[in-house]
Structure 1
Amino acid sequence: MGCCQSSPTRDSRSDKDQHHYGGQAHHPRSSNGTSSAGGAGDGGGGVPGFLEFSLTELKAATNNFSSDFIVSESGEKAPNVVYKGRLQNRRWIAVKKFTKLAWPDPKQFAEEARGVGKLRHKRLANLIGYCSDGDERLLVAEFMPNDTLAKHLFHWENQTLECAMRLRVALYIAEALDYCGTEGRPLYHDLNAYRVLFDENGDPRLSCFGLMKNSRDGKSYSTNLAYTPPEYLRNGRVTQESVVFSFGTVLLDLLSGKHIPPGHALDMIRGKNILLLMDSHLEGNFSAEEATVVFDLASQCLQYEPRDRPNTKDLVATLAPLQNKSDVPSHVMLGIPKHDEAPATPQHPLSPMGDACSRMDLTAIHQILVATHYKDDEGTNELSFQEWTQQMRDMLEARKRGDLAFRDKDFKTAIDCYSQFVDVGTMVSPTVYARRSLCYLMCDQPDAALRDAMQAQCVYPDWSTAFYMQAVALAKLDMQKDAADMLNEAATLEEKRQRERGGR
């Protein structure tokens, strides 16, 4: 199903954090107003825009924060517990639940979350939303299903990570840190092997949760003091150089397969005993030259004086030439099945709208939406006489201009006009959301299209068109299985509605 369960009459605008991916209901709202589809820094793969979630939604997604859904490696003992959840649009999420009053000021929490939520990169497990309700403070991120680096390095059951995969992890995390620094978010709190997660394709990603402190003014490091940057012990502040120090400890983890205190490792590196540091489970399957380069880099990262450490661009430049299996997919090196995106066969006969959506025929969908006009909007608004103000007339005029642009296939103008209508918020129209969703698809913005299709469903929970539009957007976002499921859901609703009409 979609994003919420009730049909409103108007839009409501009114630690060790070691994880596997590390009030009243209202609609999720975009908090940055931008589309994340395409463009520099976007990871692709269908990362949705940044939303404000309701507590009701997140309770539903996590079975009321059931202990069965906890994925923090420390379980319920973790300072801030992380849950696995599934939204009603079938997207899997990771939900980080902060302890009570970790962030007393809801505005400050929301501002921090929005800052992190602006980041979009294929090397990050991206932040897709937050919730601030009463004392509750929650972050919502993409779910990473294939465990943490710590699990693959320290607690593996089937196979140890081969050297090429370890070098890939090092590079990808360096790229993530470099991207964050470029985008003005250089501080990462408590970087360690639990913060590195593996996505459905086995690619390593950096958890976005570390980009936010565990509390407004709480500690930024919760690991053993032996692994904490020396300057943090002196002044309690995290700097870009502190993050590089922590990256050095992750490099040691990758090379040794153990969590070795930096001081001990540096003594061995200076004593040229680096082969003794290498993970014995690799059984000699590594290049001594490459190992020397990485140990050298780790040594630079772990320098006592922050100014003597490399920057993130240096990390990327050193690690990029060491990648020697670039053509081998990560899931092969990890030994996990390939992420299956095979579409399911529709279970119901498809209507013209369903058929157009299954074929991704945007032109045919446009023709059907133009012909249907607003006949499905009946009953979604009950307006009093007093609400027929000049603002109301202006809003309806904006919708009329949007309809003309939509009919004439001027989709960018239609988006602008429909947005004027939506932003006023006096009326809600599932048809406007569906039409703007198609406009976004025509403009190659599938994440925005999905958001609008979900909003159409919020207004009209049993409207098959809302589900059909979600199916098309999901398919455009390469989420083929979810798209097929949504198509079946839409066809089921459509069939049910036709039966009800036939029984009258």
Structure 2
Amino acid sequence: MIKAESLQYDFAIVRAATNNFCNKNKLGQGGFGAVYKGQLPNGRVVAVKRLSNYSRQRDSEFKNEILLMAKLQHRNLVKLLGFCLEGNERLLIFEFMPNGGLDQFIFDLVKRAQLNWEGRYKIIEGIARGLLYLHEDSQLKVIHRDLKASNILLDEDMNPKIADFGLARLFVVDGTHGTTSKIVGTYGYMAPEYVTQGRFSFKTDVFSFGVMILEIVSGQKSNSIGHEEDTLNLISMVWKNWTEGTPLNVVDPDLQKDSTSQVTRCIHIGLLCVQENLLLRPTMGFVVAMLTGYPVNLPVPSQPAYLLIDSATQSNMSSSRALIIGTLKSHQSNIEMALASTNQVTISELHPR
């Protein structure tokens, strides 16, 4: 395993690569600081994240991201090439992703028209496989804690890669959850138990993934559908149409002529991931299995979080929770049996890494 020290770059080299961090090379600006495009002496084009002095991503988060990214290797994770520490400067050097963030496509009226259903499904599946690696398949067990469309970067072939591990939490093999008094992340993507109680687990990442599925399918931001108090948010809008038997009403108009059965299945999976009760949410192993077509009949989704509906409807839905929990556990048990089958046919590893 590569030692983090071997990834350290000289500040002068990085500064020259970005032309002294000129605005012309700036790719984006966030709460952590700015990201610049640069070219190293060997000709390789890179992305340089320059943390600001007032960034929320302090030294602990900076070191956390270096140590995690140096050890995690997967085709659906952004690759860390190096870092730089000099004075107040904190720099991270990543592989350059020419198509930028997923948010720049699905929330742009012009760009999202270039992304057909096949492309969007590839992105959904790629994110799912990256999360499965973090949660189950890597030697390290990692909860990302800040999954959102802007933290999914797209390479030249529009393959998705999960980025920004500054808020991630690492667990030993037997660890699955934790608590914190400091709530960090992006509203609209954070699971309710994390927002209200500071509890996080693999299921909080599953919730964020479910929100992204609904955003990719609809082309709408999770927290920007209308500004009136009686206007539904994205989850509520999807749930309303789902219960009324009109799920395709929420689909991006650019996708209306695409595979309606697969689109509907993804909406179904998205709703399973954003259920209010974390025990009802599937694992990422089960999510990948559902995306690849198994099981044929999916569990019935229960009430999602942040739902804006009347109390009578909530009462009717809550009465069916026990049945849904049993159904979901039964489905996940069948998946685990399939993954452990003796004929070497697996669900989570359909493609070599």
- Is this a same-fold pair by TM over 0.5? yes
Deviations 1:402-430 (A, max 9, x none): xxxxxxxxxxxxxxxxxxxxxxxxxxxxx
Aligned mates of 1:65, 1:185 — CA distance in 2: 35
Query: Who is 1:278 aligned against?
Result: 251
Kindly indicate whether residue 159 of structure 2 is the aligned counterpart of residue 197 of structure 1. no
Aligned mates of 2:63, 2:188 — CA distance in 1: 33
Partner of 2:150, secondary structure, is coil
Give aligned pairs, total. 269
* Alpha carbons of structure 1 residues 186 and 278: separation in structure 2 relative to 1, 3 Å: same
Task: Tell me which of 283, 292, 295 is aligned to 1:311.
Answer: 283
> How far has the Cα of 1:87 moved from its partner?
1.0
> How far has the Cα of 1:71 moved from its partner?
0.9
Aligned mates of 1:103, 1:57 — CA distance in 2: 26
Task: Tell me which of 230, 242, 252 is aligned to 1:269.
Answer: 242
> Counting helix residues as a fraction of each chain, which structure ranks higher?
1
Q: Which amino acid aligns with 1:123?
A: N
Task: Tell me which of 131, 134, 146 is aligned to 1:180.
Answer: 134
Aligned mates of 1:185, 1:125 — CA distance in 2: 17
> How far has the Cα of 1:110 moved from its partner?
3.0
Identity of aligned residues (%): 29
Query: Who is 2:90 aligned against?
Result: 137
Partner of 1:96, secondary structure, is strand
Partner of 1:152, secondary structure, is helix
Query: Who is 2:259 aligned against?
Result: 287
> How far has the Cα of 1:219 moved from its partner?
4.9
* Alpha carbons of structure 1 residues 285 and 239: separation in structure 2 relative to 1, 3 Å: same
Q: Which amino acid aligns with 1:87?
A: L
Q: Which amino acid aligns with 1:250?
A: M
Query: Who is 2:196 aligned against?
Result: 234
Deviations 1:267-316 (A, max 9, x none): 3222222110111122x222222122111111110011112111111121
Partner of 2:146, secondary structure, is coil
Kindly indicate whether residue 37 of structure 2 is the aligned counterpart of residue 91 of structure 1. no
> How far has the Cα of 1:241 moved from its partner?
1.0
> How far has the Cα of 1:112 moved from its partner?
4.2
Deviations 1:107-160 (A, max 9, x none): 774354122211111112212222222222222211100232222222153643
Task: Tell me which of 157, 166, 169 is aligned to 2:120.
Answer: 166
Aligned mates of 1:188, 1:62 — CA distance in 2: 28
Larger C-alpha radius of gyration, 1 or 2? Answer: 1
> How far has the Cα of 1:185 moved from its partner?
4.1
Aligned mates of 1:107, 1:168 — CA distance in 2: 34
> How far has the Cα of 1:106 moved from its partner?
5.0
> How far has the Cα of 1:78 moved from its partner?
4.2
* Alpha carbons of structure 1 residues 103 and 259: separation in structure 2 relative to 1, 3 Å: closer
Query: Who is 1:146 aligned against?
Result: 99
Contact 1:32-1:114 at 8 Å conserved across structures: yes
Q: Which amino acid aligns with 1:163?
A: W
- Greater length-normalized contact order (CA 8 Å, ≥ 6 residues apart): 1
Query: Who is 2:24 aligned against?
Result: 68
> How far has the Cα of 1:243 moved from its partner?
0.8
State the TM-score, normalized to the length of structure 1.
0.49
Moved more, 181-190 or 306-315: 181-190
Contact 2:80-2:95 at 8 Å conserved across structures: yes
Contact 1:102-1:214 at 8 Å conserved across structures: no
Structure 1 gaps, min length 5: 1-29, 34-49, 323-504
Deviations 1:63-90 (A, max 9, x none): 1121221111xx4x64422111111111
> Counting strand residues as a fraction of each chain, which structure ranks higher?
2
> How far has the Cα of 1:170 moved from its partner?
0.6
* Alpha carbons of structure 1 residues 111 and 251: separation in structure 2 relative to 1, 3 Å: closer
Partner of 1:303, secondary structure, is coil
Contact 1:163-1:285 at 8 Å conserved across structures: no
State the TM-score, normalized to the length of structure 2.
0.68
> How far has the Cα of 1:101 moved from its partner?
6.0
Pairs within 5 Å for 1:51-450 = 51-72=7-28, 75=29, 78-100=31-53, 102=55, 106=59, 109-110=62-63, 112-157=65-110, 159-181=113-135, 182-183=137-138, 184-207=140-163, 209=164, 211-213=165-167, 219-222=183-186, 225-260=187-222, 261-282=234-255, 284-321=256-293
Moved more, 122-131 or 183-192: 183-192
> How far has the Cα of 1:195 moved from its partner?
1.8
* Alpha carbons of structure 1 residues 291 and 121: separation in structure 2 relative to 1, 3 Å: same
Contact 1:104-1:135 at 8 Å conserved across structures: no
Structure 2 gaps, min length 5: 170-180, 223-233, 295-353
* Alpha carbons of structure 1 residues 106 and 151: separation in structure 2 relative to 1, 3 Å: closer
Query: Who is 1:447 aligned against?
Result: none
> How far has the Cα of 1:321 moved from its partner?
3.8
Q: Which amino acid aligns with 2:167?
A: K
* Alpha carbons of structure 1 residues 255 and 128: separation in structure 2 relative to 1, 3 Å: same
